[in-house]
Amino acid sequence: MLSRTGTILLLLLATVNFSPVDCRVEPGTGRIRVLFLGEYYFWNTVFLDWLAAEPRFDLAIVPCSTQHIQLSEAKRLTRLYIPRTFKALAEGYDAMMFEDFGPLALEGSHIQNFRRAVEEVGLGLGLIEFANWGAGSNYMDMWMKTTLYQAFPAEVDLSTDIPANKGRTYYKILRRDPIFNLPGIEEIPINSGHQGDLFPRPGSVVDAEWRGRGTPAVVTGKFGRGNTLQIDHGWDNMRNEVRVWEYGPDLVYNQVLFVADEPVPGDLDAAHRARKLFVETRIRKIITASTLEFIESFGGKVNVVERKFDALEEKVKEAREAYVTDNDPVAAADMLEDVLKQYPVLEAEMMKVKKEALLWVHVAEWCVVSATATMAGTLVWWLMVRRALYREVGMTRAVE
């Protein structure tokens, strides 16, 4: 049970032997292996959950932002989970996504390997909120001293830190393909944070600028063989309108696809329908697995429900194969809709088992409360009504 019930993304790192020169996705599966470094807390986990739900992405997360964890813990995590050699990094991943963290937790070899992987073998680099904010508390000045800074598609202005309400809320799209070809994107308020300006380097492209301030919001480029992306705000700064927007997940997917140098879906409507259902199925899976674990902890017999749950997961696996291997989002979506139709029946059976398991908990509680009340009542009656231990005070002689 425990292996199916994690509510956070596990730290998974894979090493696969293949030549990155010939292929930038995992051979045999076609999945895009993404290494995410940086912030990992409640304001940006929804975007990472979207990535984890999309079958084409194989996501590994290494939290290392010292805004949220101690530096010693950040160093421990990077030491354990970032590939130690250039070969392991280049052959194990297709894209790197960094969000708002400083290089303090990294070793010099990490930074050198990151740069070489982008420049020499085409590992993509995405930089989320790699801009000045908070009087330099995000350590951009330190990044500027590293060799990786040359891979950034834009220069960072350390003299500015502008709030979102000063013309930095909405995108003005300058290049729609491949990232921003989404309906109504310019009408969605994007940013709620405060950041400094970016200045695109020669050869880079400003895909979107801030409507109002007119400075770059999203800059893309090329460093050696690898695609680079730099966003002038964080995923954690994205407003609630983005989080509930119909195409919010597609925006994040397109960013990662660009970094990995993979094409966006040709049929957006079909891909969007399948992606939305994969996200919903993942949510149902997590809730169901957690509920089954809860019921089992009270002695509930969940074997029958577990078998039906496993059968639904097999159908989801088939949908993943149709989506990734067969490149058939329509068939995948049809399978997922069938799975979701069966979840209410499964949940009804699960609630029945839960009630049966908790019945004995309630019976035990009733027995304990009743026994305690009976004992207390008996003692009160015995001591206060019958006065069984009461003795009258005898007469004593005064001492002369």
Neighbours of 83 (CB within 10 A): 20
> pLDDT tens, 335-380?
999 999 999 999 999 999 888 878 777 778 888 888 898 888 888 7
Neighbours of 94 (CB within 10 A): 25
The pLDDT of residue 182 is: 97
Q: Are residues 151 and 274 in the same domain?
A: no
Q: Are residues 364 and 284 in the same domain?
A: yes
Mean pLDDT across the chain: 89
Question: Where residue 223 sits, what CATH number does that domain have?
Answer: 3.40.50.880
> pLDDT tens, 219-241?
999 999 999 999 999 999 999 99
Residue 281 tokens, joined: 């199925």
> pLDDT tens, 251-287?
999 999 999 999 999 999 999 999 999 999 999 999 9
Residue 209 three-state SS: strand
Range scoring the smallest mean pLDDT among 2-11, 31-40, 319-328, 389-398: 2-11
> pLDDT tens, 374-386?
888 888 777 777 6
**CA angle, 54 as apex, 48 and 60 as ends, to 5°?**
45
Report how many domains make up the chain. 2
**1 pLDDT higher than 60:** no
Domain that holds residue 44: 2-264
The whole-angstrom separation of Cα 152 and Cα 143 is 10
Q: Are residues 213 and 287 in the same domain?
A: no
Out of 264, 288, 323, a domain closes at 264
Between the alpha carbon of residue 280 and those of residues 57, 275, 340, the distances in Å are 16, 9, 8
Q: Do 44 and 236 meet the contact criterion of CB atoms below 8 Å apart?
A: yes
**CA angle, 21 as apex, 18 and 27 as ends, to 5°?**
35
Q: Are residues 213 and 87 in the same domain?
A: yes
Q: Are residues 15 and 65 in the same domain?
A: yes
Out of 248, 264, 280, a domain closes at 264
Q: Are residues 141 and 280 in the same domain?
A: no
Q: Are residues 257 and 365 in the same domain?
A: no
Sign of the Cα torsion 94, 36, 257, 109 reads: negative
**CA angle, 142 as apex, 33 and 154 as ends, to 5°?**
65
Instruction: Return the C-alpha torsion angle 199, 202, 203, 205, nearest 10.
Output: 20
Out of 236, 264, 292, a domain closes at 264
**23 pLDDT higher than 60:** no
The pLDDT of residue 24 is: 67
Q: Are residues 166 and 283 in the same domain?
A: no
Tell me whether residue 362 is exposed, middle or buried, using C-beta atoms within 10 angstroms of its C-beta: 0 to 12, 13 to 18, 19 or more. Answer: exposed
Q: Are residues 333 and 215 in the same domain?
A: no
Q: Are residues 256 and 271 in the same domain?
A: no
- Going by the DSSP 8-state scheme, the letter that residue 398 receives in this structure is P
The pLDDT of residue 369 is: 87
How, if at all, do strands 205-210 and 216-223 pair?
antiparallel
What's the whole-number mean pLDDT along residues 138-142?
A: 89
Closest among 126, 246, 102, 229 to 183, alpha carbons compared: 246
Q: Are residues 106 and 174 in the same domain?
A: yes
Q: Are residues 241 and 273 in the same domain?
A: no
Neighbours of 275 (CB within 10 A): 25
Q: What element of type H or E holds 220?
A: strand 216-223
DSSP per-residue codes, 31-74: PEEEEEEE--STTTHHHHHHHHHSTTEEEEEEE--TTTS-HHHH
**CA angle, 94 as apex, 93 and 96 as ends, to 5°?**
80
The residue type found at 211 is R
Residue 294 tokens, joined: 């809860």
